[in-house]
Amino acid sequence: MPDLEPEKLTLNAPYNSQKQLLTHISPRSPLSAHITENESIDVSNNSSTTTHNTIDQLCDNVCEMESSDHSPSRFSYVSYGQESRIDSELRYLAVGGFAKDDNNKNESADEKEPTEGEESDVTTRKNKKTKGSSLAKSLSSGKLTKPSPKKRSGLKLNLKKKEKTMSNEDPKYLGPYLLKQARELLSTGDHDPNKALELAVRAMKAFESCQSEKTDLEYVMCLHIVAALYCILRKYDEAIPIVERSIEITNINEGQKHSLAKFAGCMQLGDTYAMQGNIEKSILCYKAGLEIQKHILGEQDARFGETCRYVAEAHVQAMKFDEAKRLCKMAIEIHGKNRTSNSLEEAADRRLMGLICDSKGDYETAIEHYVLARMAMTANDHNSDVAAIDVCVGDAYLSLARYDEAIFTYQKALNVFRFTKGDNHPCVASVYVRLADLYNKIGKFRESETYCEHALRIYTKPGPKSQSDDIANGLIEVSAIYESMNELDRALDLLKKSLKAYEKVPGQVTSVAGVEAQIGVLYYMMGCYSDSYNYLKIAISKFRVAGEMKSGVFGITLNQLGLACIQVDLFKEAADLFEEARGILETVYGPHHPNTLGVNNNLAGTYDAVGRWDEAIEILEYVVGLREDKLGTANTDVDNEKQWLAELLKGSGRDRSKGSRSLEFLLDG
């Protein structure tokens, strides 16, 4: 049996190839360079996709869809803040959302609260504004004015009195009233989500008790609020059926408002699945929402382009780069048609396209997109964004082995980050890690270790504004460098610290599974096979929960767990794992890929070890045939496997145990 290639068949891959293992949290993944503060553009897509992109302008005042103003801030899904997406959605829904028009249907035109599109008429109605419209304006601007303690206490007393009065009222009045109280509680900014949830659930039940054949959009908004509050409390299983109900009861044939409600529901359901770590289901929901928006707005609307980018980011996270590239290309083309080239929005699209090309290995094209994005950022004086793009350019230069250009680009970004963010910001640490990786690749290990220490000083003592996922990613990056230096104990310690950091970030099932799988690989390399088996087993179970059963990463992890099973004498389990891994890798990589051939060899070796020689022979004949077609008959790998096959054929009729020799070959590989 030929020697196996560990770097191809196991998860202890070199630093660069680990981005295929640690899905969404790769050390060298181009998506790890992103803006972590309240800046104008954020196209990062590791955990930020699930927790930091906001939807506060998800479906701003549906009546504005009917106007000719197609500004990107309306009926779009993506906005550029850094607050929690659920918090920002609640902030939007507190204003009244797409049901605002229905709430005001009995008001006269002069008494109506002004919408964003009617702000030019504000001065003519200044004396007729209600307190609610002032609140709506402050919410839409993102600047909440909290009521004084006296007013808050008065609100609570007033709420209790009104609830008592309304308790015997018709449910059709009680539902809107309770929903209004829930929104007012949310708008205070220091609300208790449990209290708001209690009011919203009571409102939902009141709406349900008096539903007519025609859908009440205020009821749909109530469902969205209840689901969002469940998400804040991390009760995702309770939130999902409620959002599904909101989608089910809305009909796009009933007008644009209902289409808007269904679009909002699809995107919110996608976000909820994403926060659970179920990327596949989230993408299905996003695609449904995208189709609804395209049907309403058309393919050239800027808001449709923004949603294309949002959905493209989700595809990047799922490592579906071809579909991500298609969607991002659509977003870029929309800018050309709308003559908005060189805008911040196009810069975000160009940067994402660069990241996609980088991930596909097309580094020259990636640099072209990065340069265009950089020019737009420079024209708009976004220095931190320029520095973040410089980091991406440096990554591409590093992948092309253009080391001097990469060093120059990294140093330029480092100087900007230190000046604009301070010496202890995670962005500074991320550049230190890249410099450490570069010097490690060119054999300057002392410089590499120095930069690792600089980065760890920041990651181990993060500032108050540091994001937990940024810290976790940084620790993983440094761990990979130490692993490549064969300092396995230090690498293992950093991976365990990254797990603790991920405990503070919701919706990171897949990322945590990737880290645990890598811990299992390190234990395997250190000869701690029982620990390796335990960590890999846990990682596999989490990958299954997250729906990641068809990815190459999952197949490779199955293969590694199979090798650990052999070391602890669990041969039947090993055979089952290799069989499952083979089916996945053949689909993902194809039959000729080294990973696929390697897992076939592992399976044949396991069959040979347990006396299933006919099956081992069948697999080896298949592998030898593939290798001869691909590599030729004179290749060393082909020759070794042919010798192994000849031995099996020769001894297949004998009554002898050949397990020990085959196992020796398997484990040596």
Q: What is the pLDDT of residue 190?
A: 61
The pTM for the full model equals: 0.67
Range from 11-20, 39-48, 100-109 that averages highest in pLDDT: 100-109
Q: What is the pLDDT of residue 637?
A: 61
Express each pLDDT in 563-591 by its tens digit. Answer: 999 999 999 999 999 999 999 998 888 88
Q: Confirm whether 372 is domain-assigned.
A: yes
Q: What is the pLDDT of residue 630?
A: 66
Contacts of 107 (CB under 8 A, 6+ apart): none
Same domain, 314 and 373: yes
Residue 425: name the closest of 414, 436, 434, 435 by CA: 414
Contact (Cβ atoms closer than 8 angstroms) between residue 232 and residue 11: no
pLDDT of residue 149 exceeding 80, the answer is no
CB-based burial label for 136 (10 Å; 0-12, 13-18, 19+): buried
Contact (Cβ atoms closer than 8 angstroms) between residue 92 and residue 116: no
Q: What is the pLDDT of residue 182?
A: 82
pLDDT of residue 101 exceeding 70, the answer is no
Contact (Cβ atoms closer than 8 angstroms) between residue 21 and residue 553: yes
pLDDT of residue 58 exceeding 60, the answer is no
Same domain, 190 and 236: yes
3 state SS of 408: helix
Residue that terminates a domain, selected from 254, 277, 297:
297
Q: Confirm whether 418 is domain-assigned.
A: no
CA angle 20, 21, 23 (to 5 degrees): 75
Contact (Cβ atoms closer than 8 angstroms) between residue 388 and residue 413: yes
d(CA 586, CA 602): 14
Q: Confirm whether 437 is domain-assigned.
A: no
Same domain, 281 and 317: no
Q: What is the pLDDT of residue 34?
A: 29
Name the more confident of 253 and 447.
447
Name the more confident of 336 and 526.
526
Once rounded to an integer, what is the mean pLDDT over residues 192-220?
A: 83
Dihedral sign (CA 598, 603, 609, 613) = negative
Biggest CA–CA distance in the chain, Å, is 101
405 pLDDT band, cuts 50/70/90, is: very high
Q: What is the pLDDT of residue 213?
A: 66
Q: What is the pLDDT of residue 60?
A: 37
CB-based burial label for 175 (10 Å; 0-12, 13-18, 19+): buried
What tokens were used for 542? 């989490």
| Orientation of helix 383-399 relative to helix 363-379, angle to 10° | 170
Same domain, 197 and 329: no
Once rounded to an integer, what is the mean pLDDT over residues 203-209?
A: 85
Q: Confirm whether 41 is domain-assigned.
A: no
What tokens were used for 353? 């396209």
Residue that terminates a domain, selected from 251, 279, 297:
297
d(CA 8, CA 3): 12
Same domain, 250 and 335: no
Same domain, 79 and 216: yes
Same domain, 622 and 565: yes
Q: Confirm whether 326 is domain-assigned.
A: yes
Express each pLDDT in 269-283 by its tens digit. Answer: 999 998 887 888 899
Name the more confident of 535 and 509.
535
Q: What is the pLDDT of residue 474?
A: 92
Count of beta carbons in the 10 Å neighbourhood of residue 450: 15
Residue that terminates a domain, selected from 402, 421, 448:
402
What tokens were used for 520? 């299992």
Q: What is the pLDDT of residue 32?
A: 27
What tokens were used for 125? 């109605």
d(CA 95, CA 136): 5
Q: What is the pLDDT of residue 71?
A: 33
Q: What is the pLDDT of residue 63?
A: 30
Contact (Cβ atoms closer than 8 angstroms) between residue 516 and residue 524: no
Mean pLDDT of the chain: 74
pLDDT of residue 212 exceeding 90, the answer is no
Residue 659: name the closest of 596, 609, 597 by CA: 609
d(CA 369, CA 390): 12
| Cα–Cα distance list, 343 to 72, 90, 329, 346 (Å) | 12, 29, 16, 5
Count of beta carbons in the 10 Å neighbourhood of residue 348: 25
- How far out from the chain centre does Cα 426 lie? 19
Name the more confident of 100 and 27.
100
Number of domains in the chain: 3
Q: What is the pLDDT of residue 576?
A: 94
d(CA 566, CA 152): 65
* Helix or strand run (H / E) with residue 647: helix 636-651
Determine which of 35-39, 160-164, 432-436 has the lowest per-residue pLDDT on average: 35-39
Name the more confident of 217 and 122.
217
SS (H, E, C) 8-46: HHCCCCCCHHHHHCCCCCCCCCHHHCCCCCCCCCCCCCC
Cα torsion 36, 411, 406, 392 to 10°: value is: 10
Q: What is the pLDDT of residue 496?
A: 94
pLDDT of residue 549 exceeding 60, the answer is yes
Q: Confirm whether 506 is domain-assigned.
A: no
Number of residues assigned to the chain: 669
Q: What is the pLDDT of residue 653?
A: 54
Q: What is the pLDDT of residue 664?
A: 46
Name the more confident of 488 and 207.
488
Q: Confirm whether 200 is domain-assigned.
A: yes
Once rounded to an integer, what is the mean pLDDT over residues 629-641?
A: 60
Same domain, 324 and 234: no
Q: What is the pLDDT of residue 193?
A: 83
Express each pLDDT in 285-330 by its tens digit. Answer: 999 999 999 988 888 898 999 999 999 999 998 888 999 999 999 9
Q: What is the pLDDT of residue 19?
A: 37
169 pLDDT band, cuts 50/70/90, is: low
d(CA 239, CA 276): 11
341 pLDDT band, cuts 50/70/90, is: confident
d(CA 355, CA 171): 52
Range from 49-53, 170-174, 504-508 that averages highest in pLDDT: 504-508
Residue 491: name the closest of 45, 14, 17, 48 by CA: 14
Same domain, 578 and 594: yes
Contact (Cβ atoms closer than 8 angstroms) between residue 569 and residue 302: no
Tell me the Cα Rg of the chain.
28
Q: Confirm whether 179 is domain-assigned.
A: yes
pLDDT of residue 529 exceeding 80, the answer is yes
Contact (Cβ atoms closer than 8 angstroms) between residue 46 and residue 54: no
d(CA 146, CA 135): 10
pLDDT of residue 659 exceeding 60, the answer is no
What tokens were used for 630? 């691909």
Say how many CA atoms lie within 13 Å of 567 toward its Cβ.
Answer: 21
Q: What is the pLDDT of residue 103?
A: 43
| Orientation of helix 217-232 relative to helix 256-276, angle to 10° | 10
Q: What is the pLDDT of residue 665?
A: 47
Same domain, 201 and 339: no
Express each pLDDT in 18-38 by its tens digit. Answer: 333 333 323 222 222 222 333
Domain that holds residue 309: 300-402
DSSP label of 156: H
Same domain, 626 and 552: yes
Same domain, 193 and 287: yes
Q: Count helices and strands (H / E) in the chain.
A: 30, 0
CA angle 425, 426, 427 (to 5 degrees): 90
d(CA 61, CA 374): 34
pLDDT of residue 72 exceeding 60, the answer is no
d(CA 97, CA 265): 12
d(CA 245, CA 426): 41
- How far out from the chain centre does Cα 179 lie? 32
Contact (Cβ atoms closer than 8 angstroms) between residue 606 and residue 562: yes
What's the CATH code of the domain at 394?
1.25.40.10
Q: What is the pLDDT of residue 612?
A: 85
